[in-house]
Amino acid sequence: MASVVIAADLGGTNLRSAAVNESGEILYRTNAPTPRPGTPAAVADLIGRLAEDCRANAGAEAASFGIAVPAILEASCGHIFISPNLPLLNGSCFGDLIAARTGLKISVENDANAAAIGEHWLGASRGTANSLCVTLGTGVGGGLILEGQLYRGSIGTAGEIGHICVEKDGLPCGCGSRGCLEQYASATAIARMARERGVSLPEGSSGSAAVYEAAKAGNADAADVFRIAAEYLGLALAGLVNVLNPEAIVIGGGAAAAWDLFSGPLTAELESRAFGPPTEGLRVVRAMLGDDAGLLGAARIALDGGGR
């Protein structure tokens, strides 16, 4: 019988869960709002309930469970160091809570790392040995696939591309530093920069979709914001190209929808700063899996027998 695992992708607003087989087919999926305010135990309980629903509808026995979490964490034990966008998890032994709740073999991974694994397995960086995946959402997430494997670093915190400094005395960042890429190239930052330039956006809109709509409708200030974000991203990625010499850079997340506006300035900035030889064969491509990248990456980790 084909292997089936349970996967979950925990976001700041939504929890998504699915039963996935070894070909990457989603056999069943469900979702629920993330409990906020809440406790780590309440979130673990909801994850457990969605996992039970997925197991009951998977059509095959599933004993492994991969969970993508928006946090810097220790993947070996699921301990959360810090979750800037879901701070209720800070300091929790989240993997233990979910293991106790579900009785399944648990793997917990950073959500951007999971997205990188998903895109490498089934998406835009499939077939490459060395790739970077950058997710432009509420923050800027990053994941490194080196020699075909996720690079986690010595304690599991590697890949935080969003916290590369691009402005020495720039805006304060949730990580405690200032001038991080995340403050200039996330979907949140794109909306902020558009408002600063007088672009009128719907009340409460915090992502880049409304800015893109304004740009497509001919608002030059809105279009210029994507150029600025792309140049900051190109600046950070040029340094990474010089250090890591990847074959592909995959750009995903909500802001990637504005690909036509920022891929040009991004490539121009990158090529003007990085060494020539590593940029010649480099592909800078849009992510293919959309919102499912993290979910499928979490499934892949569970299929590979990560966790405990």
Q: Is 173 in the site for Zn ion (CB under 5 A)?
A: yes
Instruction: Quote the least distance from Cβ 178 to Zn ion, whole Å.
Output: 8
Please report how close the Cβ of residue 240 comes to Zn ion at its closest, in angstroms.
Answer: 16
Contact characters 127-166, Zn ion, x per CB under 5 A: ------------------------------------x---
Q: ω before 84 within 30° of 0 (cis)?
A: no
Q: How many residues bind Zn ion (CB under 5 A)?
A: 5
67 vs 164, which CB is nearer to Zn ion? 164
Which one of residues 93, 175, 257, 288 is an interface residue with Zn ion (CB under 5 A)? 175
Nearest distance from C-beta of residue 175 to Zn ion, angstroms: 3
| Nearer of residues 157 and 177 to Zn ion, judged by Cβ | 177
How distant is the alpha carbon of residue 14 from its chain centre?
14
Which residues, including other chains, have CB under 8 Å from residue 107's CB and lie 6 or more apart? Answer: 64, 65, 66, 67, 75, 298, 301, 302, 306, 307
Binding window for Zn ion (CB under 5 A); candidates: 88-96, 130-138, 175-183, 285-293: 175-183
Q: Which of 36, 15, 2, 3 is nearest to 302 (CA)?
A: 3
188 binds Zn ion (CB under 5 A): no
CB of 17 to Zn ion, least distance (A): 29
Query: Tokens 């893109």 label which residue?
Result: 212
Smallest gap from Cβ 218 to Zn ion, in A, equals: 34
CA–CA distance, 270 with 180 (Å, rounded to integer): 17
Minimum CB distance to Zn ion smaller for 173 or for 189: 173
Binding mask 256-295 for Zn ion (x = CB under 5 A): ----------------------------------------
Q: For residues 286 and 256, is the Cβ–Cβ distance under 8 A?
A: yes
Please report whether residue 180 would count as binding Zn ion according to CB under 5 A. yes
CB of 11 to Zn ion, least distance (A): 19
Q: How far is the CB of 180 from Zn ion (least distance, A)?
A: 3
Give the footprint of Zn ion on this chain (CB under 5 A). Answer: 163, 173, 175, 177, 180
